[in-house]
Amino acid sequence: MKLVLQNLTKKFPSRNRKSKEEVVAVNDFTFEIPDGELIGLLGPSGCGKSTMLNLICGLQKPTSGKIFFGDDDVTDLPPEHRGVGLVFQNYALYPHLTVLQNITFPLENLRGEAKMTKQQMVEKATQIAGLVQIDGLLERKPSELSGGQQQRVAIARALVKMPRVLLLDEPLSNLDARLRLQTREEIKRIQRETGITTIFVTHDQDEAMSISDRIVVMKDGVLHQIGKPQDVYDDPVNLFVAKFLGTPPINVFEGFVKDGKLHIGEDIVLDVKGAADEDVWVGIRPEGFVLDENGPFSCTLSGLEVMGRDVSVVSTNEHSANPVIRSIISAENKVDLSSPTVRFALKPKKVFIFRKSTEERIRFDIG
Amino acid sequence: MDNRNSKAWLYLLPAILFLGVFMVYPLIDVFIYSFEEGYNSASQTFFGVGGYNYSYVLHDPYFLQAVKNTFILVIITVPLSTGIALLISLGLSSIKPLKDLFQTIYFLPYVTNTLAVGLVFMILFRKTPYTDGLANLFLSLFSAGPVDFIDGPYWAKMFVLCFYTVWVVMPFKILILTSALASVKQDYYNAAKIDGTPRFRVFTKITLPMISPMLFYLIITGFIGAFKAYSDAVALFGTNLNAAEMNTIVGYVYDMLYGDSGGYPSYASAAAIILFVIVLTITCINLLVSKKHVHY
């Protein structure tokens, strides 16, 4: 099912009685999600991600704008008629019901033609339980399950009605690191097998990058960028998106462009043909540094972090916006620790420049 | 280890001392009294040990009347007050404007003196040479009555007693139930809403099980409280409850000790032990039932 949002806006009345100012949780959102894709809705806490989800599933009404599932306008439909499945952040499994009863709960509400017999419900629930691999746990209560198992039950309950759209609210935030890795693969697998258009909300860019077909980066209710994870990473539209994606995070420096050359302090680090002279933020991905004795960019070396395959060179520079600069180089390179300074050459594709005032990306020709 | 043990006992001492003197010792004493036949409180002597006190109490028509009254009171008021309290708390938790005001109003009877409330009820229900009372005024609208609720027929008096008891115990139950309802997470309701669960099913399948521990707590304490009823009857019908046929078991115990026909601590003790056995039995039944129906 294709999902289309058109100029979707949600405003909340201000809590403070004195100021009439409204809180805009979602601001003029327009995008289209193709059928059967897994979309990661990514943004820092409080940016309106959960409100987005509530708007799509119908728990909240938008102030303006429209939502389409396929060709149906569902903007004014109540949640039960939209055909959505929602997995809550804390799973919201009914603690007094067994796993089986939890999964069949949505089916028991079906009326009219869709009404199912007890037998059919159990069959359907068992089938879904098989899909999420909890077949052996059907008679247990949620309190007797681990976090990962509860998560699966919650997904099963959301899937059992075969929703047109599946929504997951921070699905992995209550799991430990190892389980998180495992579960995100699992979510990807389940989504592939069912082919249901799925949106999941997260503030963890790693999570979003690793399993999404497409990511939507938002901040303060505003859509910043939408695209394939690698494309968004390689080609961010502004400083926020560049900073939000990637671990270790991008290194940001104060610099300026003069005569088609990018300066960071004294150093002329890169040719940036086509960029006008102005003050800029320079973002350099950790993998954008190359150790080079004659490289144009010099930093003060403060140490090495060896991570097996890679070595992370930690250095400082007075023009850096972060306290330290992390650059990742292959472990085969030898770093001269006796020298107080380290010199880098830069990979042009891994260097982004942004206008100082608006933080918008400035494009330049890669020579 | 010894040192820690003695310290623990030291901390427990105040509680043990008070509970021992004012609860455990009297309990044992009551038990002993109940088997001492012909006890004389002036000379503190008795003739023998046996079950005569119990036999006397169980054959006393006043006691049988008190048991009947108490049971009627319990069976009517506990389900009624809990049910109405649940309805009111459901209403309270679903309204937004003036919620605090209504909560306060519903809680007022809890902080009002029982005897003062009893007086108000007497004005509502009592027939005097000048007026038939507010209740009869209301009845006359349906061209019924007038009924003397205070000195009249048994059922009328029982109605007033039940009405009064329900009214008095309600605020506490509403308080407990509104907070229990508020503690049910909104996520459960949202999940049910997305699945299109009808309202009634949400209530029976989600709300009720979620608040069932509190509900059973209220039913158990409600039973115990209703079995101990006494002051309510006094407030409505005065101290001579036997004459009014409105005595309760606790009232009977009191009368046997200090009433006009009093001075029989042995009979009072026997009646108290019988009450204790009744309450214990009912509570055990309650707990057994609740184990089956209360989740987690």
Rounded mean pLDDT of B14-25? Answer: 93
What distance in Å separates the CA atoms of residue B292 and residue A265, rounded to the nearest whole number?
75
- Chain A nearest-CA distance from B173, in A, is 23
Nearest CA in chain B to A167: B194
DSSP H/E element including A128: helix A118-131
Nearest CA in chain A to B210: A96
Output the CA torsion A164→A170→A175→A178 (10° steps): 80
Contact A58 B210 (CB under 8 A): no
- Chain A nearest-CA distance from B183, in A, is 14
pLDDT at B55: 87
B154-182 vs B208-227: helix crossing angle, rounded to 10:
140
Rounded mean pLDDT of B170-196? Answer: 90
- Chain A nearest-CA distance from B187, in A, is 6
Nearest CA in chain A to B206: A94
The token pair that represents B228 in the structure block? 């101990």
Least confident stretch, A45-59, B5-19, B112-126, B196-210:
B112-126
Contact B210 A85 (CB under 8 A): no
Which residue type does B195 have?
D
Q: State pLDDT tens for residues A41-68.
A: 998 888 888 889 899 989 899 999 999 9
Contact B191 A79 (CB under 8 A): no
Q: Where are the domains of chain B?
A: 61-293
Rounded mean pLDDT of B57-71? Answer: 89
pLDDT at A364: 87
Strand pairing class (A310-316; A341-346):
unpaired
Cα distances (angstroms) measured from residue A196 to each of A164, A324, B190, B225? 6, 43, 21, 57
The minimal CB distance from B195 to the residues A58, A95, A109 is found for: A109
pLDDT at B129: 66
Cα–Cα–Cα angle for A209, A213, A218, rounded to 5 degrees? 60
Label residue B197 exposed, middle or buried (CB < 10 Å: 0-12, 13-18, 19+).
Answer: buried
Strand pairing class (A197-202; A38-42):
parallel
Chain A residues touching B204 at Cβ < 8 A: none
Cα distances (angstroms) measured from residue B166 to each of A242, B147, B150, B161, B228? 66, 21, 17, 9, 14
In the numeric block, the tokens 């309802």 are attached to B181
Q: How confident is the model at residue B164 (pLDDT cuts 50, 70, 90)?
A: confident
Closest CA to B270 of B252, B243, B295, B258: B252
Residue B41 has pLDDT above 70, yes or no: no
What distance in Å separates the CA atoms of residue A225 and residue A237, rounded to the nearest whole number?
7
Q: How confident is the model at residue A305 (pLDDT cuts 50, 70, 90)?
A: confident
Residues 6+ apart with CB under 8 A from B140: B132, B146
Rounded mean pLDDT of A323-348? Answer: 84
Under 8 Å between Cβ of B171 and B109: yes
Q: What is the pTM of this model?
A: 0.78
Residues 6+ apart with CB under 8 A from B190: A59, A86, A88, A92
Residue B295 has pLDDT above 70, yes or no: no
What distance in Å separates the CA atoms of residue A1 and residue A32, rounded to the nearest whole number?
11
Chain A residues touching B191 at Cβ < 8 A: 86, 88, 92, 157
Strands, sheet with A214-219, edge to edge from the N-terminal-most edge strand: A84-87, A165-169, A197-202, A38-42, A214-219, A222-227
Q: What percent of chain B has pLDDT over 70?
A: 89
pLDDT at B296: 55
A109 touches chain B (CB under 8 A): yes
Q: Which range in A186-190, B37-41, B77-81 is most confidently predicted, on average pLDDT?
A: B77-81
pLDDT at B110: 80
Contact A79 B295 (CB under 8 A): no
Residue B151 has pLDDT above 80, yes or no: no
pLDDT at A281: 93
Q: State pLDDT tens for residues A205-249.
A: 888 888 899 999 999 889 999 999 999 999 999 999 999 998 889
> Phi and psi at residue A81, in whole multiples of 5°?
-95, 0
Residue A335 has pLDDT above 80, yes or no: no
- CATH value of B61-293 in 2.160.20.60, 1.10.3720.10, 3.40.47.10, 3.30.470.20: 1.10.3720.10
What distance in Å separates the CA atoms of residue B112 and residue B110, rounded to the nearest whole number?
6
- ipTM (interface predicted TM): 0.80
